[in-house]
Amino acid sequence: MARIHLHLLSDSTGETLEMIAKAALAQFDDSEVLRHFWPMVRSQQHLDRIMGEIAANPGLVFFTLVNEETRGRLEERCHTLGLPALAVLDNVTDALEAHLGQEAKGRPGRQHRLDDAYFARVDAIQFTIAHDDGIAWEDWEDSDIILAGVSRTSKTPTSIYLANRGYKVANIPIVVESPPPQALFGLRRPMVVGLTTAPERLIQVRRNRLLSLSQSPDTDYVQAEKVESEVKYARRMFADNSWPVIDVTRRSIEETAAAIINLYNERKASGIKGPVGPKPI
């Protein structure tokens, strides 16, 4: 198995750099990558301290540094050590400069400045946390997206991920014995998305959850016939209300969120609104 050190240096939070590295590494199997993350690198003194660690653990160096002196020093030191250093956004920035006919503004962390979009994202996160697991359903009309699904279909983590992208999200568990509020079936503004999964996979996830809580796995919560009935009940509700459905069986949280965002954008572009009247089960 190949084993390498990967150093990620950013002049901001490094979120973008981490996502790029993660996406690239997903293309390679049978490799052990030791990631070293260095955010907020905005001075040569800070860089010099980091270079000691890089020299002790030589490997690949990916960076997003806009300060010419800092990045120049990094490239020089890496060249001396015989290490490849790649500015991962340079090609994208160069292409945009050429097509837009203007020079990029080299301000560290520019994409993370405290603008209206930042505060909108904070507002979305606060809203989403306050509307988890069916709480405060009276405010659902203020949501952008509502996720519905049986227990352990990744509703909460997907909601939080979407909130970090700026969407106000509420989620509601679909329980046979306790139907959702009637308000869910008459919403106009939010897009309701049904999350489902294969019963076998759901049983496995639920069983692991019970074991992690030191609870007995011998309950209806993981009983095959019971779980299959739950999934069918939820699917019937989704179909009766014409809600889009996403099967999360083999999807990561990021993949599920990306599919939801695509649905949301398509709905927004078409001007489609929610159902006029309820179709509860």
Nearest partner of 74 among 10, 6, 14, judged by Cα:
10
Ligand-binding annotation for 268, yes or no, is: no
Q: Is residue 214 a known part of a binding site?
A: no
**207 is annotated as contributing to ligand binding:** no
160, 227 contact by CB (below 8 A): no
Half-sphere exposure of 93 (CA within 13 A, CB side): 11
Integer Cα distance of 129 and 125 in angstroms: 6
The H-or-E segment that residue 261 falls in is: helix 253-270
Q: Are 130 and 156 in contact (CB under 8 A)?
A: no
The secondary element (H helix, E strand) that includes residue 169 is strand 169-173
**Of 80, 86, 90, which Cα lies nearest the Cα of 60?**
86
153 is in an annotated binding site: yes
Q: Is 155 annotated as a binding residue?
A: yes
Establish whether 149 is an annotated binding residue: yes
Calpha distance 246→253 (Å, rounded):
12
* 80 annotated to bind ligand: no
Residue positions forming the annotated binding site: 149-156
Question: Residues at the annotated binding site for ADP?
Answer: 149-156
